[in-house]
């Protein structure tokens, strides 16, 4: 499943706490951000960066220059992502994590994990794997980072290692739908359809109408010759989420099935 942006939420509380320690706006601060409590400034900055990346980036830079500390630097990095400056965003996230001497290992892990997610977004699997592995060395409790590293491994064809990472994510949160779907896909690609089916049925127990899970179930069924069942599930994807990437994949799979039938 694609991840269109790095995740701000795991860092929200941590960086606001850091802001409470590090933010020391000068008396002549001109921006609204520097006049707000750190938590409110951080929320506002992220919202503005997402709504209007150009204006958000400029405001975040001003806040940083007025003493905004790590929360402002983090907002700058995420604004750069929304501007399409992905490599610069990832580089700044890595630099931020390296320049917070009083941050906890968990806080650093979260930021480095975001950098890894951005490298994954641009398809740089080597840098993604390096960043995500470092994040996990710092703190291995966030299932999201295990999932991202598993995704990087799977994209590189290292399916068994990917399965280990998806399993680690599920050990930390057994209801992670994306980990179940990813692991099912890895098992399918390794031609272990029984385990793939077990995972995808667990995912559908959690969300019976999830288009990614239904798409993957169809792929598993087609792989073992259950073509009518696969077609039915891919048609369900088109009905449930017609404009999604899963629908595009289902449409392509149905066309290929029809070509083979001819």
Q: Domains, the chain, ranges and CATH?
A: 9-173 (1.25.40.10), 195-262 (1.25.40.10)
Ranges of residues in the chain whose predicted pLDDT is under 70: 1-32, 261-262
**What pLDDT was estimated at residue 16?**
38
Note whether 71 and 36 are within 8 A (CB). no
249: which residues sit within 8 A by CB, 6+ positions away? 215, 237
Give the angle subtended at the CA of 69 by the CAs of 63 and 75, to the nearest 5°: 60
Ramachandran assignment for 5, one of left (phi > 0), alpha (psi -120 to 50 degrees), beta (any other): beta
Among candidates 98, 116, 201, which has minimal Cα distance to 153?
A: 116
What is the C-alpha to C-alpha distance for residues 6 and 87, in angstroms, rounded to an integer?
Answer: 12
Tell me the C-alpha to C-alpha distance, in Å, between residue 111 and each of 132, 139, 240: 10, 11, 35
Note whether 125 and 155 are within 8 A (CB). yes
What is the C-alpha to C-alpha distance for residues 182 and 38, in angstroms, rounded to an integer?
Answer: 37
Q: What tokens does 66 get?
A: 């007025």
**What pLDDT was estimated at residue 9?**
33
Q: How far is CA 26 from the centre of its chain?
A: 36
Among candidates 61, 85, 91, which has minimal Cα distance to 73?
A: 61
6-44 pLDDT tens trace? 554 333 333 433 333 333 333 333 346 777 777 788 888
**What pLDDT was estimated at residue 29?**
37
Tell me the C-alpha to C-alpha distance, in Å, between residue 121 and each of 115, 137, 212: 10, 21, 18
Q: How far apart are the first and last CA of the chain?
A: 31
**What pLDDT was estimated at residue 115?**
97
């Amino acid at each position: 499943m694609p991840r269109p942006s790095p995740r701000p939420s795991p860092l929200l509380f941590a960086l606001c706490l850091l802001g409470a320690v590090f933010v020391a706006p000068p008396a002549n601060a001109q921006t609204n951000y520097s006049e707000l409590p750190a938590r409110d400034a951080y929320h506002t900055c992220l919202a503005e960066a997402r709504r209007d990346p150009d204006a958000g980036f400029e405001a975040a830079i001003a806040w940083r220059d007025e003493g905004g500390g790590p929360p402002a630097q983090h907002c700058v990095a995420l604004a750069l992502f929304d501007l399409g400056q992905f490599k610069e965003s990832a580089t700044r996230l890595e630099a931020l994590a390296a320049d917070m001497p009083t941050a906890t290992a968990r806080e650093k892990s979260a930021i480095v994990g975001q950098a890894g997610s951005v490298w994954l977004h641009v398809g740089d699997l080597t840098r993604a794997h390096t960043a995500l592995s470092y994040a996990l060395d710092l703190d291995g409790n966030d299932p999201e980072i295990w999932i991202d590293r598993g995704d990087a491994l799977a994209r590189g064809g290292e399916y068994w290692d990917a399965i280990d990472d998806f399993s680690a994510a599920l050990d930390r949160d057994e209801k992670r739908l994306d980990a179940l779907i990813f692991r099912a896909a890895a098992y399918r690609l390794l031609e272990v359809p029984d385990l793939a089916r077990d995972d995808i049925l667990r995912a559908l127990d959690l969300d019976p109408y999830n288009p990614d899970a239904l798409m993957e179930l169809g792929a598993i069924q087609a792989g073992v010759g259950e073509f009518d069942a696969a077609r039915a599930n891919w048609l369900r994807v088109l009905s449930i989420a017609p404009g999604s990437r899963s629908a595009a994949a289902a449409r392509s799979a149905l066309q290929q099935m029809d070509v083979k039938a001819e």
